[in-house]
């Protein structure tokens, strides 16, 4: 039984939002499918780190959910990305999955999931991606809310005696921009590894943090960066 992660699948089987107009995204769903089927076994767990579907609501996203559900893997754990407009309450999402017999999909939101002795924790996160730009009270509120959600998620793992592993959509550090509220949560809980997505294209990849920074190892796992190959991390 292995644990995999990938971010930013950007599926659009139920809506017109082709990604192959962007460099590096040509035929990306086929590449993802082929790599997933080659690597992932039925008993494995896969974390999907946000920007799952371009569907504007659950019904539009249903073909994407069904596509993911049919792939190998015992659990596909989904956290929210900034383009997951279909996202609603936990109760409604779980009911939708149940009603449509999507048996392997799980929602990561103010909770955690157990993988052996590890607690799978995470939230969307937030960081200002514009180099040198300012900030405002709206951004501050989002950062505080997302930091609280991460704290709750990690706390849920620790209460069960699990070692927390953190997955975010936004990077907590990007170039010269830092989400200190999120970083404080990571440091408070002595998190050693953090996986994140969101960052696309060579012009942005070059500012991404990959490797150790202040005691935490950061791993960029956005789909185009890892060439749509799910990464086995445990």
> Tell me: the pLDDT tens digits for 81-124?
999 999 999 999 999 999 999 999 999 999 999 999 999 999 99
Among residues 168, 174, 171, 170, the alpha carbon closest in space to that of 133 is found at 174
CB atoms within 10 A of CB 30: 10
Q: Which residues are registered as beta bridge partners of 123? A: 168
CA distance 81 to 87: 9
Please check the confidence at residue 135 and state whether its pLDDT lies above 70.
Answer: no
| Stretch 129-134: mean pLDDT | 52
CA distance 79 to 108: 5
Among residues 192, 225, 183, 198, the alpha carbon closest in space to that of 211 is found at 192
DSSP structural state of residue 7: B
Please check the confidence at residue 168 and state whether its pLDDT lies above 70.
Answer: yes
Under 8 Å between Cβ of 225 and 207: no
Hey, is 106 helix, strand or coil?
strand
Of 163 and 138, the structure prediction assigns the larger pLDDT to 163
Averaged confidence pLDDT in the chain: 95
Least reliable range by pLDDT among 109-113, 139-143, 166-170: 139-143
- Which CATH entry fits the domain spanning 3-232: 3.40.50.450, 3.40.50.300, 3.60.21.10, 3.40.50.1820? 3.60.21.10
Q: Is 73 exposed, middle or buried (0-12, 13-18, 19+ CB in 10 A)?
A: buried
Of 127 and 190, the structure prediction assigns the larger pLDDT to 190
Please check the confidence at residue 133 and state whether its pLDDT lies above 90.
Answer: no
- Dump pLDDT digits (tens) for 9-64: 999 999 998 898 888 999 999 999 999 999 999 999 999 999 999 999 999 999 99
Here the tokens at position 67 are 């596509």
| Stretch 141-154: mean pLDDT | 96
Domain coordinates in residue numbering, the chain: 3-232
Tell me, what's the pLDDT at 130? 56
Please check the confidence at residue 2 and state whether its pLDDT lies above 90.
Answer: yes
């Amino acid at each position: 039984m292995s644990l995999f992660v990938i971010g930013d699948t950007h599926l659009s089987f139920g809506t017109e939002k082709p990604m192959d107009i962007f460099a590096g995204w040509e035929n990306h769903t086929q590449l993802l499918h082929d790599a997933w089927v080659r690597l992932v076994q039925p008993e494995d767990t896969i974390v999907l780190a946000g920007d799952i579907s371009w569907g504007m609501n659950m019904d539009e996203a249903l073909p994407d959910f069904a596509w993911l559900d049919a792939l190998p893997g015992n659990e596909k754990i989904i956290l929210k990305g900034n383009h997951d407009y279909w996202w609603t309450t936990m109760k409604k999402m779980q009911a939708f999955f149940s009603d449509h017999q999507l048996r392997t999909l799980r929602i990561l939101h103010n909770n955690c999931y157990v993988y052996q002795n590890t607690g799978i924790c995470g939230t969307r996160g937030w960081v200002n991606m514009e180099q040198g730009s300012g900030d405002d009270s709206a951004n501050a509120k989002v950062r505080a809310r997302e930091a609280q959600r991460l704290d709750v998620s990690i706390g849920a793992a620790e209460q069960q005696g699990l070692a927390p592993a953190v997955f975010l959509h936004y990077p907590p550090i990007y170039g010269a921009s830092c989400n200190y509220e999120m970083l404080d949560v990571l440091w408070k809980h002595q998190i050693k590894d953090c996986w994140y997505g969101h960052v696309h294209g060579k012009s942005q990849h070059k500012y991404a943090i990959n490797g150790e920074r202040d005691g935490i190892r950061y791993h960029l796992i956005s789909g185009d960066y890892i060439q749509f190959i799910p990464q086995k991390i445990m």
